[in-house]
Amino acid sequence: MPKPKFQTPKGMHDIFGENWKYFDKIFEVVKSFAKFYNFERIETPVLEEAELFTKGIGLATDIVQKEMFLLKTKGGDYLALRPEGTAPVVRAYIQHGMQNLPQPVKLWYFSQFFRYEHPQAGRFRQFWQFGFEILGKQAPALDTQIILIFYNILKELGFEALAIKINSIGDSFCRPYYKKTLISYLKHRSYALCPDCKRRLKENPLRILDCKEEKCRQIISEAPQILNHLCENCKNHLKTVLEFLDDLQLPYHLDPYLVRGLDYYTKTVFEISEETEKGKAVGALVGGGRYDNLAKILGGLEMPGVGGAGGVERIIELLKEKRIKIYKEKKPKIFLAQIGDLAKRKALKIVEEFRKENLPIYESIEKDSLKSQMKLADKLGVKYVLILGHQEALNEEILLRDMETGKQKKIRLKNLIKEVKKYL
Ligand code: AMP
């Protein structure tokens, strides 16, 4: 078959068929956690002022430098398709005066995001994330609660080899000192860094810590670690978060090289991944952290926050790879076949009665021949077929045929729902 002229744009995909079953189940689980922990849903526009992200996420980050879909409106505004959810949520918090509500404000979303990435496994240009954000309070218990929620969502979806990576990247008090120490260490070794890290050294030196290039990894393994350069406040915050994680017996690993790709984080950063059979973790399923300066950067107020986001497509990919079935096939057990005009008219009404009673049923109201309807019923694998012929329609009756035994029973139409319920 020739390749169709029109296809989905690179890195973007249609969602149909079985994939919706995964999406629906993940949504259902996420929603139930949001409800239990008293999060309110929020949906922000797909487009935001580009500056929200350049300021919020940081000019020197990969997302802003390489991955934003930008457009200029006819009015001359620069807008960006949202690459992530936290900056828009904080914008909404400030815009709608949510600081006047009882704090903390807890918000969740299940939305689509856009990044102009090089498409590869688990990386798309349009993808879904679910996120949880707790805004307005600084307590370490909230960091732990965010990690706990994401961990348990993944667990409920069926993952069994989850690993939490956690680190503190300090705050505006201690990070600048650490940055200086790191830069001076790396400067002497810059000749051996990869080209990306050479650039990062000038623009975003902390990101060098999570470079995957072998030659950089070697240099990083001997670099000064931020955990030894945290101020008292950040050290205590981290200690408390870890103690709470211990109490909950969550399997975390303190990773001094975890920095994450967004500039707005302060103190806690974390990622959750699932180990694959080969013992190699694929990309993180969830990432997040604390962002106590973000509201201030966005021109607002002092407003601490902590949150995270899970990648829906990545979760689905891994569920499929691990053959974890997260949904049950619930197919109707009954098919309604009709022959003749009068029967067709009655059949339309019967289907309505089934819908009102919330009883699933297949039909093929456009078909006329009984043979083709029986063939379809057989293909669908139903247990019973209701047959409404012209004579039955006149007599206000219908036949119920057991597809296994071939036995048929006559039922008065007015008793149909009551009778059918006995069989289901
Ligand atoms: P981030 O917003 O970068 O912290 O990412 C949070 C989670 O979203 C990641 O752990 C991934 O599961 C998912 N994610 C991030 N970028 C993409 C992408 N381009 N395609 C699909 N999923 C993504």
> For all residues of the chain together, what is the average pLDDT?
94
- Reduced to 3 states (helix: H, G, I; strand: E, B; else coil), residue 271 is strand
Atom 17 in ligand 1: which residue has the minimum CA distance? Answer: 123
Phi and psi angles of residue 402, each rounded to the nearest 5 degrees, phi first: -80, 115
Query: What is the CA(310)–ligand 1 centre distance, in A?
Result: 7
- Give residue 242's region: left, alpha or beta (phi > 0; psi -120 to 50): alpha
Distances (CA, A) of 100 to 90, 96, 306: 14, 9, 18
Contact 181, 224 (CB under 8 A): yes
Helix axes 18-36, 140-156, angle to 10 degrees: 150
Instruction: Give the start-end residues of each E strand in 86-222.
Output: 105-114, 126-135, 162-168
Residue 47 pairs in a beta bridge with: 81
Edge-to-edge strands, sheet with 397-402: 362-363, 334-338, 384-388, 397-402, 408-412
Give the tokens for residue 350: 């019967």
324 within 8 A of 159, measured Cβ to Cβ: yes
Pairing of strands 266-274, 384-388: unpaired
Report the atom number in ligand 1 closest to the C-alpha of 122. 21
Distance CA 376, CA 382 (A): 9
Residue 119 is predicted with a pLDDT of 82
Q: Kindly give the number of the ligand 1 atom that is closest to the alpha carbon of 67.
A: 19
Lining ligand 1 with CB less than 6 A are 84, 115, 117, 122-124, 127, 129, 261, 284-287, 309-311, 313-314
Q: Containing H/E element for 420?
A: helix 416-423
Q: Give 335's Cβ-side CA count (13 Å radius).
A: 23
Average pLDDT over residues 171-179: 93
Dihedral pair phi/psi, residue 366, rounded to 5°: -80, -15
Question: In this structure, which residue's CA is closest to atom 16 in ligand 1?
Answer: 123
Q: Tell me, what DSSP letter sits at residue 123?
A: B
- The CATH code of the domain at 18-174+230-321 is 3.30.930.10
For residue 284, which atom of ligand 1 is closest to its CA? Answer: 10
- Of all protein residues, whose CA lies closest to atom 15 belonging to ligand 1? 311
pTM summary value: 0.92
What's the CA-to-centroid distance between 379 and ligand 1, angstroms?
Answer: 40
Cα(68) to ligand 1 centroid in Å equals 14
Structural fold of domain 334-423: Rossmann fold (3.40.50)
Crossing angle between the packed helical segments 312-321 and 18-36, to the nearest 10 degrees: 120
- The answer to whether 201 and 183 have CB atoms below 8 angstroms apart is yes
Task: Please identify, by atom number, the ligand 1 atom nearest to the C-alpha of residue 86.
Answer: 2
> If you take atom 18 of ligand 1, which residue's CA is the nearest one?
123
Nearest atom, ligand 1, residue 286 CA:
10
- Atom 14 of ligand 1 has which residue's CA nearest to it? 311
Q: What is the pLDDT of residues 278-336, one digit of tens each?
A: 655 568 999 999 999 999 999 888 999 999 999 999 999 999 999 999 988 888 999 99
Give me the pLDDT at residue 278, please: 61
Cα of 352 vs centre of ligand 1, distance in Å, is 43
- Tens digit of pLDDT for each residue in 60-97? 788 888 899 999 999 999 999 999 999 999 999 999 99
Cα(374) to centroid(ligand 1), Å = 47
Start-end of H helices in 70-121: 86-95
Give the model confidence (pLDDT) of 205-232 as tens digits.
Answer: 998 998 889 989 999 999 999 999 999 9
Give me the residue spans of the domains in the chain. 18-174+230-321, 334-423
Query: How far is residue 117's CA from residue 283's CA, in Å, rounded to a whole number?
Result: 14
Tell the residue nearest (CA) to atom 8 of ligand 1. Answer: 311
User: Does the N-terminal peptide bond of residue 104 adopt cis geometry, omega within 30 degrees of 0?
Assistant: yes
